[in-house]
Structure 1
Amino acid sequence: MDKKILIVDDEKNHRLMLKIHLAEEGFEILEAENGVEALQLIDENDFDLILLDIKMDIMDGFTFLSHMRQKDLHIPVIVITAFSNVKTAVQAMKLGAVDFISKPVDTDNLLDLVKNNLKASSDESISGADNVLKNYVFEGVYSEEGLGKIIEMLKMVAPTDATVLITGESGTGKELVAKSIHDNSHRKNGPFLAVNCAALNENLIESEMFGHEKGAFTGAVSQKKGKFELADKGTLFLDEVVELPLPTQAKLLRALQEKVFERVGGEKSIRTDVRIVAATNRNIKEMVKEGGFREDLFFRLNVFPINLPPLRERKSEIPLLVKFFIDKYSHSFNKLIRGYTDSYIQKLMKFDFTGNIRELSNLVERSIILCTSDKLDASHLPEPEHSDFSEDSAMDVRGNERNLITKALKQTNGNKTKAAEILGISRRTLHNKIKEYEIEV
């Protein structure tokens, strides 16, 4: 049976163009020139997908999406919007749209989006409403005020192809969340590639991301596929995405928008079907204001934002997380650990957990190694180190960081690459710090 698609757009010629291309693929197409007409057609037909324009004189796209939510209509909606107005698409996603495409519409890209979203919708129907996917990170080990909200957001976004931006402090589990999104999507049988953008060599970063042709530069002795090509039909996780240089950000934006790119030194455009999940522990909005990160790329990445709260704000979850890590690690060390004593949890509660879940994970793993009984005890933990972060101490940290950077630059006679190596940070991070602290080089 052919899939039935509704096109809602007040531009007749644009509707016709979309209808021709989709009908060629065997889809049954119905048209509406505004939201009111579309709602009437929905009452009379069973649609598998809706293509929705936002700006319409009679009931715009936002109002239409609100009516769909009120009527509890669960039909995938792909929003069509002007490229210069990606903010609009982000708002539409929050109202229930599953994806968006910018005008002028690339028909190949449109067909990919339609087919992917129809497949995702079909997979959900097969699984059934009661058979909710359960492989979400830390599921069952959260409080309602902590990770509980995050889990519910993951369940909403994972089955879609929406781009996700995960923010949060270091150690809060951003890569685990990204992998969880992939594992619960229709792409789960495809590759999941994680890229630490801060660790990439600045001179070879485009080659790592997009590949290169033989002879493209000195040392390019053979053709190489980049991460975008290798992650085709899967998910690409861009950790610390803000560390990408501005030229690479421009190329990334095009790959996200048009689903095409060229290898370094190549002329052939390569089409890819990759879902992007990005992450950062920095304030990306501030970087946009300061010109360190492209605003248009930020809006393209920030379709579905998820902020992971630090562990110190949800310490009530610590006992549940401890049990999670006991189950995870006790088998690895071939030990039968049945739980923990009250004193163990009481001592854990005294930690500041500046390293968040990663720090807790390491503490539990260490405790299991030291444990000679069947329960973890306070004696298996080190003494907690407290850090009272007042405004004064925060200023001291910034002052110390500035001094360290200044000393490293003096030691290397202003060589930023060598200074970054000494400090253990990327050259781009060093550049940002020099700008932030107004250090003269």
Structure 2
Amino acid sequence: MKKILLVEDDLTYSRIVKTFLEKNGFQVETTTKVKEAQQMMGGGKFDLIIADFRLPDGTGMELLQWSKKEFPQTQVILITHYSDIRIAIKAMKLGAFEYITKPINPDELLATVKESLSSQPEAPTSSFSEVKQEYSSPKISQKTTSPSPSFYVVGDSQEAEKLEKHIHLVAPTDLSVLVLGETGTGKEFISRRIHDNSERKDGPFIAIDCGALPKDLAGSELFGHVKGAFTGALENKTGHFEMAHGGTIFLDEVGNLSYEVQIQLLRAIQERTIRKIGGNKEIKIDVRIIAATNENLLQQAGEGAFREDLYHRLNEFTLNAIPLRRRKDDLEVFADQFLEESNERLNKSVKGFTSEVWEIFLGYDWPGNLREFKNIIKRAVLLTNGPLVEKEALPADLHDPEQAFATHRSVAVSPVGSDLPSPRDYKSQWIEQEKELIQQVLQDTKFNKSKTARILKMDRKTLYSKMEKYGLN
């Protein structure tokens, strides 16, 4: 039985989600704080962490970063509100499997949990020392996987045509390219597009997320190491630069590299040679470098966080990924592509979108760009039973943010196993669950209202109001 750690400080919400997952065959343990979650992770093996973003002693992002360093094989799903969409997408860049928005839809939750666990590697790594041992293996890292070139969508807007023209202009050269753009704008797809239109297209394309590299192992990942270079280096390791010989290496979020690794990278660009960690042999490399960032590297250079000479080496040619809010003419092209992918992934046959949905799409600002658009369509396809995606399958925040804010805590996952109620039944079930929980805590504390309020994380005035509402006086 797969074991899940649920980190949620809303006790009522936590209890409902826990019951729902247990009725679907999972073992679930719960906690409310980041530090408690870390202690529980150290004391037992978990296959999946589901964490709310906002927690009393920190954030789900902090727990994600810690778990990816200490337990990299454990998947992480982040729970958030749509107001946190930028943060949620950044979490995925740092290694989160997926993010789910409140109010949680039970079908979406269950499908995401099952998908995350089915994609888990066979051999879990349980400690940092074991991670180092794994990195000593000469196998190609999973981080080097890259998107299929068939998924690239050029688009019909003027800005998209200009970007495509510049891609074809720079692709045949060997210039280093810096791709700038907001999170979720498809910087890796642009980089792959350059590679596929270059003379290196038959060589490897190695994509590295620099933000996901453990700081003390980034040099080893990029340049390799020799046996005995550090504790856990049991064998020689081939780094990503050596693997990319004859092809292209894509360094996403390059601004996250430490200053020491930046020096090594600058030397690799200037000398076209690398030296493995702990080694003294120079290895010649023939690699084209494409870097990407959503940060202002020049500003970071002025603050001493990024080397200015490295910035100029990487920035021989600049491309700007276009935010989706400026590509409204291309929405239909992307929507058709994402609909096709979602149908295939979820084994569905949704044909398209209603006119009402299109009005919502065209009026929305898309802060999460293509990644957000793709996730919303995937979620909508999952929730659609008819031929067309309708308004009700979209997150409320897209079309009625005021209503979504007012009701996001009054909708919850049903604890019923396979016979799930319709969305209009969620509120009544939430009320019943909340009443039952307050009553139970009151009994446990012998009707000590101050203690009950502390346990339920609400002020006494709110507790009195709810007790009166539910007839618990």
1:232 aligns with 2:217: no
> Deviation of residue 234 (structure 1)?
1.5
> Deviation of residue 386 (structure 1)?
8.5
Larger mean Cα displacement after TM superposition, 277-286 or 187-196: 187-196
Give, as a single letter, the amino acid of the residue that structure 2 aligns with 1:308: A
C-alpha distance in 1 between matches for 2:164 and 2:379? 28
Structure 2 CA distance for partners of 1:202 and 1:387, relative to 1, 3 Å: farther
> Deviation of residue 387 (structure 1)?
12
Residues 223 and 241 in structure 2, CA contact (< 8 A), matched pair in contact too: yes
What is the correspondence of 1:183-202 to structure 2 with a 5 Å cutoff?
A: 183-202=196-215
Q: What residue in structure 2 maps to residue 291 of structure 1? A: 304
**Length-normalised TM-score, structure 2:** 0.51
Counterpart selection for 2:254 from 214, 230, 241: 241
1:138 aligns with 2:153: yes
Q: Specify which structure has the bigger relative contact order, considering alpha-carbon pairs within 8 angstroms and separated by 6 or more residues.
A: 2
> Deviation of residue 167 (structure 1)?
0.9
C-alpha distance in 1 between matches for 2:240 and 2:316? 22
What is the correspondence of 1:256-405 to structure 2 with a 5 Å cutoff?
A: 256-385=269-398
Give, as a single letter, the amino acid of the residue that structure 2 aligns with 1:237: F
Provide the aligned length of Structure 1 versus Structure 2: 253
> Deviation of residue 238 (structure 1)?
0.5
> Deviation of residue 136 (structure 1)?
8.1
Query: Share of identical aligned residues, percent?
Result: 43
Give, as a single letter, the amino acid of the residue that structure 1 aligns with 2:336: K
Residues 210 and 253 in structure 2, CA contact (< 8 A), matched pair in contact too: yes
Residues 360 and 399 in structure 2, CA contact (< 8 A), matched pair in contact too: no
Residues 352 and 387 in structure 1, CA contact (< 8 A), matched pair in contact too: no
1:205 aligns with 2:205: no
**Length-normalised TM-score, structure 1:** 0.54
Give, as a single letter, the amino acid of the residue that structure 2 aligns with 1:137: Y
> Deviation of residue 317 (structure 1)?
2.2
Alignment gaps of 5+ in structure 2: 1-148, 402-473
Give, as a single letter, the amino acid of the residue that structure 2 aligns with 1:255: A
C-alpha distance in 1 between matches for 2:173 and 2:350? 39
> Deviation of residue 253 (structure 1)?
1.0
1:251 aligns with 2:264: yes
> Deviation of residue 231 (structure 1)?
1.1
> Deviation of residue 181 (structure 1)?
1.6
C-alpha distance in 2 between matches for 1:305 and 1:377? 40
Residues 204 and 244 in structure 2, CA contact (< 8 A), matched pair in contact too: yes
- Superposed CA RMSD: 2.1
C-alpha distance in 2 between matches for 1:184 and 1:164? 14
Alignment gaps of 5+ in structure 1: 1-133, 389-441
Residues 135 and 183 in structure 1, CA contact (< 8 A), matched pair in contact too: no
1:216 aligns with 2:212: no
Give, as a single letter, the amino acid of the residue that structure 2 aligns with 1:226: G
Q: What residue in structure 2 maps to residue 435 of structure 1? A: none
Residues 136 and 184 in structure 1, CA contact (< 8 A), matched pair in contact too: no
C-alpha distance in 1 between matches for 2:198 and 2:248? 10
Q: Which portions of structure 1, spanning 4 or more consecutive aligned residues, are displaced by more than 6 angstroms?
A: none
